[in-house]
Structure 1
Amino acid sequence: MTSAHTGRAPSLLDATCEDFVYDLVALSPTLGTRIGIEGHDHDLQDFSPAYWEDVADRVRDLLADVDALNDSTDESDDDDNFDQADTLTAAILRDRMTQELDLHHRGEDLRMLNNIDSPVQHIREAFSLMPKSSAEDLENVESRLSKVRDALAGYRESLAEAASQGDVATHRQIDAVISQCEALGDEGSMLERLGVASESSVVHDAKNSFQDMADWLSTELSPMAPHEDGVGRDRYEFFSQFFLGRKVDLDEAYEWALESLREVVLQEAELTRSMFDAPTTIHAAFRKLNEDERYTLRTSGELLDWMAESTREAYAVLQNNCFTIPDGVQRLDCAIDPAGTGGLYYTQPSDDMVRPGTLWWSMPEGRDSLHTWHELTHIFHQGAPGHHVQFATALTQRTTLNLWRRSVNVNAAHAEGWALYAEQLMSEYGYFDEPAKQLGHLDSKRLQLARVVVDIGVHLHKKTPDKTGVWDAQYAKAFLRDNTAMPESRVSFELDRYMGWPGQAPACSVGYRAWLKLRDDALAQGMNLRDFHDRALRLGSMPMDLLAQELL
């Protein structure tokens, strides 16, 4: 169908990308659930070596198809020629798919195990996102529960093959995933709250399958696991490029983050001096604010109401000043995380936007309150104008962005950099003018910079900032504890995340720098802020240098 607005009909390349997504969803049903493609919610991939090879084969076919279509493009007036959107799609696609194949060729898919982004979490998230309203929905849940045993068996096969090559996750990551598997297998598991009777055989077998997975990790994989967390420069550089889409000077990024961190610490110290009568350390200031009932939420109901109201206020600021919000984007649901992990995260809408984007939050384990002075910045980061506005806006661009570009492809520097930029934007519009909230925003900045320093420092085995030794996880945890107001349980989770997901954490700050530079360049060319935001987000996710080339 040709768009009346753009005059553009879907191209052969768009159709090729759509075919690829549907084939990929057939191979990876959890992806189908995440992006809202129907027909596979009853199924579950097995994460075996054969599965990973099937995915790689389909990626190879896609790249061959793109090359063939590009070769057919000439200077004649041919309907098959690449237009500007196709040329950009091909560049983004080659960039991403080549890196996906590199990941496969290195065997990184087989050894994938960490506390945040590996098959156990993918299975858990798929159950959280599945529709559960109709009888057919519940039949799908029941069917998928029956596939958990085979999925985890295939996953063990991949881990065992990687281990035979000497590629094993660290004890830290294995221990974290053991705990997650045990939580899914224990009484009170989220698997008991999916709409299928908790005493049914499929729920019982799925829970037992996670317990068996925990036992296997403990008895079979853990004895082969290394204790050292850092992955080394070669592997880290690969992951950094995978997440950023481009090589960056890691040593420069490390020094920049250290210097920027020192500046934020000075800003926090100056702010706390102005907030309290007596001299107060930063952590003492955090404790005083946490004791202030004005900033305290004690129930899930209070939390949901506050999330919704903060989001409404953000949308009012954006629409009145610097965004044209497309229809449908304003809908953002707030929900309690059924897994009870604590903290805030976001899941994007289904491709048709029938399932809305959702902010998930829960009270962290061992705590009975949350503090809005510290958490407000996370609403803007994950919701509006952050990830939700970013992802949902791309989903509305159905005539210019094909299914793969709008719903599947994500560049971490683009995504996470935008979320930090969103926090800064709300600061520019006065949402952190109140000193307590300003301190919360500075703490968020401080943590993001500390992440860069910790991630690069540990994995590249750099000298510690005090020059007393070399970075390791113990030093990193103390460093994080000194540079955030997060509770200890969250610090431990974040440390495990950085140690097991190398190269991802710096994407936030590196991407943020790129977004700020792009905005400055666009405004210098005469673009106003509303046009900049609208045009940039409607192009979808891509490496930041490609976005700059397209936008400027």
Structure 2
Amino acid sequence: MDPTGRPAGDTPAVPAARQRTAVDAAADAFTDALLALDPALATELGFPGHETEYRDYSPAGHDAQASLARETLARLDGLEAADPTDAVTLDAMRERLGLVLEQHASGWHLAELNNIASPAQEIRAIFDLMPTDTAEQWEHIAGRAANVPAALEGYLESLRAAAAGGRVASARQVRTVVEQTRKYADEGTGFFAQLASSASLPREAGSGPSADADGRADDAVVRLPDDLAAALADSCASAAAAYARFADALEAELLPAAPEKDAVGRERYALASRQFLGATVDLEETYAWGVEELDRLIRAQERVAEQIRPGASIAEAKEILNADPGRKLEGTEALRAWMQGLSDQAVADLAGTHFEIPEPLRRLECLIAPTQEGGIYYTGPSDDFSRPGRMWWSVPEGEDTFTTWAETTTVYHEGVPGHHLQVATATYLRASLNSWRRNICWVSGHGEGWALYAEKLMEELGYLSDPGDLMGMLDMQRMRAARVVFDIGVHLELEIPERWGSGSWTPEKGYAFLRENLPISEGQLKFEFTRYLGWPGQAPSYKVGQRLWEQIRTGLEERAAAEGREFDLKAFHTQALGLGSVGLDTLRRALLG
């Protein structure tokens, strides 16, 4: 049964509107309270109001969020599901909010610091999603920049409190964040300096000429009014100075207390794994499966290499692909345009055939990120779709040559049928899902697992028939399998498989292992290596999530066969995406019972 109570296979393109229930009211009340506590999240979702504010990053702010989770769980305990959609909401909220309280009790929530997904980056990154078309919107940016110092002070208060209790991120993470935040703060090339110096309005939003770096008039944009430009310059300078002080404090206070050891151990890792999967897995069994999956993917690559040139090794086949001028892109604008074209084609091809893609979901922007930290990521649309879903590529400094064979599958992963279709579908389902289900609940194993499932699905549907594109997909799948092995192996200090060395895993042994299995540049490799060490449990959630998604599909296929009916793949996709992002144990219960 799907969330509306219909049998699988009869799911409509958009579930019919349903009567709001007491469970929906509780979920919506939680969402409203959470957005009041976290104004930047409201900006991320495109909700108006509080455009200049940040959440309280201090221990008091964390306590307020834990209190909200506790109060909401108590409210849910007094409610019963009115329909199957309610049953999923109750299951998902109890799992997610219960985990919030477990994390809060551990004390490690106060110590959050890594190179990709901690408040150190979050406080800056929200500016990437703020609109810049009007003077009022630039006033919001100036106002939020003025609040950066207080946000960082609150965050530093939490880090100090955690350190007083013996909880500090590894020295590697501290040093990396010091380097990152000093770049944000640089007076010439830093993010905030560039934000202030590049500020402008579209021509229709103002009057008077602007000029480019050579002094030539630019007819497309105009300068900000002088008073607004001055306010923006002051607030950006204040934000940059705050980041510089923050970096100094990390180096002077946190780094001396930071452990050199990166491995977090079983207790912390198990909690993190549950956070990112929404499921409990046997870590040793999952590690062993990761080793086997890595071997399987290498064998598959060897077969594709033989197709590219008989007798070629995997490395030789990649060299042939890299040397092919028809598969090469020069410059970031060529990369962006290629991403956009491939994404648009996927939307056009898949809409109405293998997926329901309503009109608002068909707009997906592909952009080069304003940072140079490495990584490719997706940001969802605003609640009203006035800001579309966006695929971002953060290109490391100095890299300007790209190969299409290696990245085709990435576009499918981040766009359609991957993250964009998944996230934007949930946003679109206002008539059937409450605001928490649509906008707040995000489980990495569900989302990233779906995106890897989407990569493999595109092979199944015939979109990776070119041996080069198939090699690229297998490369990405191999990378994710290697991350299962590395992440669990290093953090739990397990034995290294014979093929890859001997003894127990260490970061140093792991780096060499990753170099052999991750098809990325050295700059990207260093970033990813640090990411895995500082964000335990997140990287395996991709491949483990895919495994759980495929197990659920297999279970439904077997059920259809046992009942003597044909499995409806499109209906499965519609039904599954219609649930929104939930923990994978919740997903299994919702789809398989």
TM range (shorter): over 0.9
Structure 1: distance between partners of 2:569 and 2:83: 27
The size of the alignment, in residue pairs, is 538
- State how far apart, in whole Å, the 1-side matches of 2:319 and 2:339 are: 22
Q: Are 1:273 and 2:298 matched, yes or no?
A: no
Question: Contact 1:523–1:529 (CA<8 Å) still a contact in 2?
Answer: no
Q: Distance in 2 between matches of 1:7 and 1:353?
A: 19
Is residue 15–residue 429 contact of structure 2 (8 Å, CA) maintained in 1?
Answer: no
Tell me the distance in 1 between the aligned counterparts of 2:125 and 2:513. Answer: 31
- Counterparts in 2 of 1:486-497, with a 5 A limit? 486-497=520-531
Q: Distance in 1 between matches of 2:352 and 2:86?
A: 34
- Is 1:344 aligned with 2:346? no
The whole-number CA distance in structure 2 between the counterparts of 1:434 and 1:118 is 39
Q: Does 1:403 align with 2:435?
A: yes
Displacement of 1:222? 0.5
Q: Is the 8 A contact 1:363 1:369 kept in 2?
A: no
Residue 536 of structure 1 is matched in structure 2 by 576
Q: 1:40 aligns with which of 25, 33, 50?
A: 50
- 1:276: Cα distance to partner? 2.8
Q: Which amino acid aligns with 2:529?
A: L
| Other-structure match for 1:298 | 330
Residues 435-482 of structure 1, C-alpha deviations (whole Å, 9 max, x = no match): 111111111111000000000000010111135221111111110100
Q: 2:122 & 2:394 partners in 1: Cα distance?
A: 19
Give the Cα–Cα distance (whole angstroms) in 2 for the partners of residues 114 and 246 of structure 1: 24
What SS does structure 1 have at the residue aligned with 2:362? Answer: coil
Question: What are the superposed Cα offsets for residues 271-329 of structure 1, whole Å, 9 maximum, x if unpaired?
Answer: 2233236x544334334422322111112321122111111221233225311112311
TM-score (structure 1 length as normaliser): 0.94
Is the contact made by 1:119 and 1:155 (CA closer than 8 Å) also made in structure 2? yes
Please list the CA deviations of residues 486-513 of structure 1 after superposition, one character each: whole Å capped at 9, or x if unmatched: 0111111111111111111111111111
Partner of 1:76: none
- Which runs of structure 1 show a deviation greater than 6 angstroms over 4 or more consecutive aligned residues? none
Partner SS state of residue 159, structure 2:
helix
Residue 247 (structure 2) pairs with residue 214 (structure 1): yes
Q: Deviations over 1:401-433 (max 9, x none)?
A: 101111110122211110000000111122221
Distance 1:324 1:166, change over 3 A: same
Normalised by the size of structure 2, how large is the TM-score?
0.88
Question: What's the counterpart of residue 512 of structure 1?
Answer: 546
Residue 442 of structure 1, aligned match among 458, 474, 479: 474
Distance 2:403 2:506 in 1: 31
Aligned to 1:155: 155
Q: Deviations over 1:159-194 (max 9, x none)?
A: 011001110000111122112101110122222326
Separation of aligned partners in 1, 2:276 and 2:458? 26
Distance 1:267 1:58 in 2: 49
SS in 2 for 1:95: helix
SS of corresponding position for 1:204: helix
TM-superposed CA distance for 1:393, in Å, is 0.6
| 2:535 counterpart letter in structure 1 | W
Matches within 5 A, 1:64-79: 64-68=74-78, 70=79, 73=80
The Cα shift of 1:197 comes to 4.2
For 2:178 and 2:403, locate their aligned partners in 1 and report how far apart those are by CA, in whole Å.
30
Question: Displacement of 1:340 after TM fit?
Answer: 2.6
Structure-2 residue corresponding to 1:551? 591
Corresponding position of 1:309: 341
> How far 1:517 moved relative to its partner?
1.9
Q: How far does the alpha carbon of each residue in 1:240-277 deviate from its partner, in whole angstroms, 9 at most, with x for none?
A: 11211121011111111111111211222232233236
- Determine the structure 2 residue equivalent to 1:12: 22
Q: Which residue in the other structure is 2:486 paired with?
A: 454
**Runs of 5+ consecutive residues of structure 1 not aligned to the other structure:** 74-80
Q: Does structure 1 retain, via aligned residues, the 8 Å contact 2:278–2:585?
A: no
Match of 2:421 in 1: 389
1:37 is displaced (CA, Å) by: 1.7
Shift of 1:30: 1.6
Please state if 1:233 is matched with 2:266.
Answer: yes
Secondary structure in structure 2 of the residue aligned to 1:345 = strand
Would the aligned equivalents of 2:332 and 2:400 in 1 still touch at CA under 8 Å?
Answer: no
Letter in 2 for 1:128: D
Q: Which amino acid aligns with 1:60?
A: R
- 1:18 and 1:56 map into 2 onto residues whose CA distance is 17
| Matched residue SS, 1:455 | helix
Q: Partners of 2:35 and 2:586 in 1: how far apart? A: 27
Q: Which amino acid aligns with 2:587?
A: L
Q: Distance in 1 between matches of 2:539 and 2:426?
A: 23
Whether the 8 Å contact between 1:346 and 1:357 is mirrored in structure 2 is yes
1:84, distance to aligned residue in structure 2 (A): 2.3
Identity among equivalent pairs (%):
41
Aligned to 2:90: 90
Is residue 417 from structure 1 mapped to residue 449 from structure 2 by the alignment?
A: yes
